[in-house]
Structure 1
Amino acid sequence: MTETALTTDRPLAGKTILMSGGSRGIGLAIALRAAADGANIALLAKTDTPHPKLEGTIHTAAEQIRAAGGRALPILGDVRDDESVTEAVLKTQGEFGGIDIVVNNASVIDLSGSLDLAAKKYDLMQDVNVRGTFMLSRAAVPVLKDAPNPHILSLSPPLNITPRWLGAHTGYTLAKYGMTMATLGLAAEFAKDGIAANTLWPRTTIATAAVQFALGGDRMMKVSRTPEVYADAAYAVLAQPAREYTGQTLIVEDVLEAAGITDFSGYAAVPGTPDDQLFPDIFLD
């Protein structure tokens, strides 16, 4: 992000972020962008040892966060487990003295049709995406209330209830829309406490493992944007005044344009790819 597009006074310096997931991809990019300001990042994630197909663990992510200028607290746990969630909140508060931001990044994707979707996978998507978002956010609310500018940010789409998206992959659609509904509900419920809760979703696919393995392999990766476009937009959202900027289903590119960024060419996964050749993300018409 260009320094002229947003304030350069490091609005996230000293802020504490509790994030679900974050070992790689979009979550890690958001963490590194905040770390450049000098933020504290606590990662609640399961990836303790290297995965045969996926890069990164909570420990390698923590090393990158520290190298970027932030403080890191890797927390081995599962957002589906209530004890892990409680422990993550307590550990983060104990280590950094509070929590300013919760980022609901952990998500499971399976685009199978309803007749092909395994029941266990349906349950996993509901548990991680919907229940995990609700439980982690809820557990952090009492601590967020004491923060000067508290935010909850969920990486989920606007509620587009057209048949095209409701019927495309019903199980996954339910799980992602559930994340959004939980977040909007929290925004309404805790507006009086000054806690912002918003969602954020990109117009194009993002070059991550989810796109590579669930959507279209290397071909899809080449027509996507980098995770940094999501990270810069998240940074812009989290710098906003919480009492005035809440209850919104935000789009990455709209957020960046509002911050003064209109040239997205630097975010192309393959440099030089024209915007009109990038693949549009799901859930947006």
Structure 2
Amino acid sequence: MNSRVALVTGAGSGIGAGTASALAALGHRVALLDRSDAVHAVADEIRSSGGTALSVLADISDPDTVTAAVDQVVAELGAVEILVNNAGFARDNHVLDMPLSDWDDVVNTHLRGAFLLLKATAPAMRSSGWGRIVNISSISALVDSDRANYVAAKAGIEGFTRATALDLAPHGITVNAIGPGVIVTEMTKVSAARRNRTLDEHVEVMRQSIPRGRVGTPHDIARAVLFFAAEDADYVTGQVIYISGGPHG
């Protein structure tokens, strides 16, 4: 695999941090974007392991911030060749009780953010004739209760993936999506609290519903990102793969 410049959003923890570390371990130069200062510690850990990492604070729902962040990445690492749109969060509520601000914040971060990052990075990919874009969706895109904003955003990500895959395929750019199932991250703690469970109780309840018999880890998702980002994965585009420990329809 050639060394490429990869940009991962939401890289301060969980799936984003695991993905950034996995890409760096293969020799890619990795830019980590996040709204949290925790992203700096993740980048430090990658560098201490011998990798190349740049951490950038950014609100990916804001066009000016995205432009500035990508400009910084290009100046310090080079043009982005692998983009992983992972940033997101949940603000769950019954749809009739959901504030407009919670709808806007979730949709803008997941869906608007993915659009802005693609717009900021894909032109350089098109010029070079090579690019990999991986969008992180969720098994919740199929259906889930009390999180209409999150479901709509993730379903939108999957439609966005298929549409942009068609637009960009002639230019050597693949666009795919991954839909994680139960992956234990900071968001899992929020889900547990919403159901008045401890984290361990919540994980055990979720585990019992998974055919594979275990919950997932960021490593499980990172491995799929590496597949989609591979040099020889150029015939795979517009696909959504659910990594959830069992089949879902």
TM-score normalised by structure 1 residue count: 0.75
Choose which of 44, 68, 72 in structure 2 pairs with 1:87. Answer: 68
Q: Shift of the alpha carbon at 1:242?
A: 5.2
Amino acid at match of 1:190: L
Over the residues paired in the alignment, what is the CA RMSD in angstroms? 2.3
2:202 counterpart letter in structure 1? M
**In the alignment, is residue 45 of structure 1 matched against residue 23 of structure 2?**
no
How far has the Cα of 1:76 moved from its partner?
A: 1.4
Distance 1:180 1:69, change over 3 A: farther
Match runs of 1:73-222 below 5 Å: 73-147=54-128, 149-157=130-138, 165=143, 169-202=147-180, 204-215=181-192, 217-222=199-204
| Cα distance in structure 2, aligned partners of 1:32 and 1:219 | 29
1:241-260 alignment runs, 5 A limit: 241=232, 243-252=234-243
Moved more, 26-35 or 232-241: 232-241
Structure 2 counterparts to residues 6-45 of structure 1, below 5 A: 11=1, 13-45=2-34
For the 8 Å contact 1:100–1:148, the answer to whether it is kept is no
For 1:219 and 1:147, locate their aligned partners in 2 and report how far apart those are by CA, in whole Å. Answer: 49
Structure 2 counterpart of 1:228, one-letter code:
H
CA distance in 1: counterparts of 2:243 and 2:139, whole angstroms: 12
Q: Which moved more, 1:60-69 or 1:142-151?
A: 142-151
Matched, 1:238 2:229: yes
Structure 1 residues 26 and 160 mapped into 2: Cα distance closer, same or farther (>3 Å)?
closer
Structure 2 portions without partners, runs of 5+: 208-214
Residues 160/85 of structure 1: CA separation in 2 closer, same or farther (3 Å cut): closer
Answer 1 or 2: which has greater helix percent.
2
Query: What runs of 5+ residues in structure 1 fail to find an aligned partner?
Result: 1-10, 49-56, 254-274
1:71 aligned partner: 52
* Structure 2 counterpart of 1:270: none
CA distance in 2, matches of 1:220, 1:41: 33
Asked if 2 retains the 8 angstrom alpha-carbon contact of 1:21 and 1:44, the reply is yes
Matching residue's letter, 1:241: D
Q: Which amino acid aligns with 1:232?
A: R
Residues 65 and 199 of structure 1: is their aligned pair in 2 closer, same or farther, counting only changes over 3 Å?
same
Q: Look up the equivalent residue of 2:188 and give its one-letter code.
A: V
Aligned to 1:228: 219
Residues 111/252 of structure 1: CA separation in 2 closer, same or farther (3 Å cut):
same
Which SS does the other structure have where 1:225 is aligned? Answer: coil
| Structure-1 residue corresponding to 2:211 | none
Contact 2:7–2:80 (CA under 8 A) maintained in structure 1: yes
CA contact (8 A) 1:151 1:238 kept: yes
Deviations 1:228-249 (A, max 9, x none): 1111121122115354111001
Aligned pairs for 1:267-278 within 5 A:
none
Residue 212 (structure 2) aligns with? none
Please state how far the C-alpha of 1:20 moved relative to its aligned partner: 1.3
Name the % identity. 29
Note if contact 2:141-2:151 (Cα within 8 Å) is conserved in structure 1: no
Distance 2:202 2:230 in 1: 31
* Residues 62 and 72, structure 1, Cα contact 8 Å, conserved in 2: yes
3-state secondary structure, aligned to 2:101: helix
Query: Does structure 2 retain, via aligned residues, the 8 Å contact 1:195–1:242?
Result: no
State the alpha-carbon separation in 1 of the partners of residues 161 and 49 from structure 2: 29
Q: Which moved more, 1:20-29 or 1:244-253?
A: 244-253
Q: 1:151 to 1:158 in 2, by over 3 A?
A: farther
TM-aligned CA deviation for residue 19 of structure 1: 1.5
